[in-house]
Amino acid sequence: MKIVLQRVREASVFVGDREVGRIGRGLCLLVGVEKGDTGDDVETLARKAVELRIFPDAQDKMNLSVIDAGGAVLAVSQFTLAGSTARGRRPSFDNAEAPARAAELFDLFTAKVRERGLVVATGVFQAMMDVRLVNDGPVTFVLDSR
């Protein structure tokens, strides 16, 4: 499982002209599920994402988690994170999990984040989406359960 994590001032996701999710300050998480990912991968990255101390404290040091900062999470499934560009010019998505299993693990991921007391907005699984955000910092990390 891979996540591109961005600290944001605000973020939203649209399907067509319809807004389906919006948050203020918090994290925008682009979540890619790969073949072989398990509940352990989900638990590891859910914990890591929400406990990562990347929000500023009173001394402007990255010392607070999204929980400590009172933020929210926008989670968007993104199968292209499982893509490989190692050969040729067309990405291979052989390592992306099958849609039904990926949806199950993505839903488990958002449930695990919610269990930690955070508001979680999401996109629409397998839809073409527009993700809009204001990256705060900019602060961006790539998390990988492997």
- In the prediction, which pLDDT does 4 show? 98
What residue segments make up the domains of the chain, in order of their start?
Answer: 2-136
pLDDT by residue (tens digit) across 80-135? 999 999 999 999 999 999 999 999 999 999 999 999 999 999 999 999 999 999 99
Q: Which fold has domain 2-136?
A: D-tyrosyl-trna(Tyr) Deacylase; Chain: A; (3.50.80)
- Eight-state DSSP code of residue 59: T
Cα–Cα distances (Å) from 87 to 21, 32, 90, 92, 93, in that order, read 35, 20, 8, 8, 12
Q: What is the pTM of this model?
A: 0.96
pLDDT by residue (tens digit) across 33-57? 999 999 999 999 999 999 999 999 9
Q: Which of 79, 106, 109, 122 is catalytic?
A: 79
Question: Regarding beta strands 62-64 and 26-32, do their DSSP bridges make them parallel or antiparallel, or are they unpaired?
Answer: unpaired
Cα–Cα distances (Å) from 124 to 15, 18, 32, 142, in that order, read 7, 11, 14, 22
Helix axes 39-51, 99-115, angle to 10 degrees: 40
Is 80 part of the annotated catalytic residue set? yes
Residue 109: count of CB within 10 angstroms of its CB: 27
- Within the chain, how many helices (H) and strands (E) appear? 2, 8
Is 79 part of the annotated catalytic residue set? yes
Is 38 part of the annotated catalytic residue set? no
**Pairwise CA distance, residues 66 & 73, whole Å:** 8
Q: Which of 80, 93, 126, 140 is catalytic?
A: 80
